[in-house]
């Protein structure tokens, strides 16, 4: 489903976190939001998930309020903080995503393997490294096969080699899903997305809207091509022009 932001705003006291902000994100596409720290990227995601309500303006997923999409289990979000339940095992934490969405958890073990947690399914979060906890949280966000997937720096705590592997292995799982990815990695934005929105300093506005017309499926070999480098340079130039 499309995501429609129309003049949404968010303030905290005298701080304008998000000024009137309007954009439409196409259904089934992965859109990356990149921009300076503190510009409002994560807040836009949180409002899209109805974890925060806009102070004004309209935000719809398709023609439906985010809270209603979330209630029927069609929306999922992975945070910078994995926020796993400490008394649950890895398997049970991942299955929670399916429980909340009232869907089958049959794919839990396959996801555990995919995110590199084989052998840790019965471990609790305290027994895992930070990167392992983050991988469990990513798997939890995918288990319900949501229509809308919101990813807030989901690979930030993952080691470089695992991050590269997840960048290749995970996108096929969300094919056809509307995905919004917040990342500070230009390479990750180009590798994973169909469209990159470059945002200004707070309060955010779109300063560049860059389509990513690269073949799929994508792998890390693509990062060595001229087309990939050209797109990365274009995104960096837009960021440096702030």
Q: Tens of pLDDT along the chain (242 residues)?
A: 999 999 999 998 888 888 899 999 999 999 999 999 888 899 999 999 989 999 999 999 999 999 999 888 899 998 888 889 999 999 999 999 888 888 888 889 999 998 889 999 999 999 998 888 888 999 999 998 899 999 998 887 778 888 888 888 888 888 889 999 999 999 999 999 999 999 998 888 899 999 999 988 888 899 999 999 999 999 999 999 87
Residues 47, 14: contact at Cβ < 8 Å?
A: no
Sign of CA dihedral 192, 196, 233, 182: negative
* DSSP code of residue 204: P
β-sheet bridge partners, residue 180? 31, 150
Instruction: Give pLDDT, residue 43.
Output: 92
Residues 29, 194: contact at Cβ < 8 Å?
A: yes
Helix, strand counts (H, E) of the chain:
8, 9
11: Cβ–Cβ under 8 A, 6 or more apart, which residues?
A: 17, 55
Instruction: Give pLDDT, residue 242.
Output: 74
Place of tokens 């809308």: 148
Residues 185, 112: contact at Cβ < 8 Å?
A: no
pTM of the full predicted structure?
0.91
For the stretch 5-44, what's the b/e string if a residue is b when 16 or more beta carbons lie within 10 angstroms of its beta carbon? Answer: beebbbeeeeeebbbebebebeeebbbbbbbbeebbbbbb
Instruction: Give pLDDT, residue 33.
Output: 96
Instruction: Give pLDDT, residue 140.
Output: 92
Residue-range domains of the chain with CATH: 1-70+147-155+179-242 (3.40.50.300), 75-145 (no CATH)
38: Cβ–Cβ under 8 A, 6 or more apart, which residues?
A: 201, 202
Instruction: Give pLDDT, residue 106.
Output: 84
- Of the CA atoms within 13 Å of residue 128, those in its CB half-sphere come to 30
Length of the chain: 242
């Amino acid at each position: 489903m499309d995501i429609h932001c129309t003049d949404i705003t968010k303030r905290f006291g005298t701080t304008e976190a998000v000024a009137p902000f309007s954009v439409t994100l196409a259904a089934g596409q992965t859109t990356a939001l990149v921009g300076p720290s503190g510009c409002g990227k994560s807040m836009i995601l949180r409002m899209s998930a109805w974890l925060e309500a806009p102070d004004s303006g309209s935000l719809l997923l398709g023609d439906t309020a985010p809270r209603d999409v979330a209630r029927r289990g069609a929306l999922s979000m992975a945070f910078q903080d994995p926020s796993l339940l400490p008394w649950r095992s890895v398997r049970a934490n991942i299955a929670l995503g399916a429980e909340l969405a009232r869907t089958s958890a049959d794919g839990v073990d396959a996801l555990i393997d995919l995110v590199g947690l084989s052998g840790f399914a019965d471990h609790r979060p305290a027994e895992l490294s930070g990167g392992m906890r983050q991988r469990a949280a990513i798997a939890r966000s995918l288990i319900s096969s949501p229509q809308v997937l919101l990813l807030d720096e989901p690979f930030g705590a993952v080691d470089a080699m695992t991050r590269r592997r997840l960048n290749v292995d995970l996108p096929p799982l969300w094919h056809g899903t509307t995905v919004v990815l917040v990342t500070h990695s230009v390479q990750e934005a180009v590798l994973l997305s169909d469209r990159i929105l470059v945002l200004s300093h707070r309060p955010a506005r779109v300063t560049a809207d860059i389509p990513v017309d690269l073949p799929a499926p994508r792998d890390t070999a693509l990062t060595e091509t001229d087309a990939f480098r050209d797109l990365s340079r274009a995104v960096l130039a837009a960021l440096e022009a702030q």
